[in-house]
Amino acid sequence: SQQGEEDPQALSIQEGENATMNCSYKTSINNLQWYRQNSGRGLVHLILIRSNEREKHSGRLRVTLDTSKKSSSLLITASRAADTASYFCATANNTNAGKSTFGDGTTLTVKP
């Protein structure tokens, strides 16, 4: 069964707006990762946040983690048409930190 669940399933915004995607999970984690997947391609790693971290930034990306609520959010600021893709969260537990379990993703469409 999938560990992470992304919300919303689909999101459509205008270029320049911010996009926020959420991920909820069920069991305790070692780390949580966000990936992007363009149509017909493999997944690309965006950010890894460890269970003892609360927030991380990378360029226009901001990830938060709330372990008490078992949730994470990915914020993309000043979105561009090139950000159009599916975004997945993946969790790894303490037993096997090398194994990542993926949710079904949020499909983001950024209109020019």
Partner 1 sequence: EAGVAQSPRYKIIEKRQSVAFWCNPISGHATLYWYQQILGQGPKLLIQFQNNGVVDDSQLPKDRFSAERLKGVDSTLKIQPAKLEDSAVYLCASSSGVKKVRSPLHFGNGTRLTVT
Q: Which residues are at the interface with partner 1 (CB under 8 A)?
A: 2, 4, 30-31, 33, 35, 40-45, 48, 50, 88, 90, 92, 96-105
Q: Go through 52-81 and write b for each residue having 16 or more CB atoms within 10 A of its CB, e for each that does not.
A: eeeeeeeeebbbbbeeeebbbbbebeebee
CA 111 to CA 17: how far, in whole Å? 10
Please state the closest distance from residue 4 (CB atom) to partner 1, in A: 8
Task: Note the residue count of the chain.
Answer: 112
Of 78 and 82, nearer to partner 1 (C-beta) is 82
CA 93 to CA 31: how far, in whole Å? 7
Please state the closest distance from residue 25 (CB atom) to partner 1, in A: 13
Of 26 and 99, nearer to partner 1 (C-beta) is 99
Please state the closest distance from residue 19 (CB atom) to partner 1, in A: 18
Terminal alpha carbon distance of the chain: 37
Please state the closest distance from residue 16 (CB atom) to partner 1, in A: 28
Of 9 and 18, nearer to partner 1 (C-beta) is 9
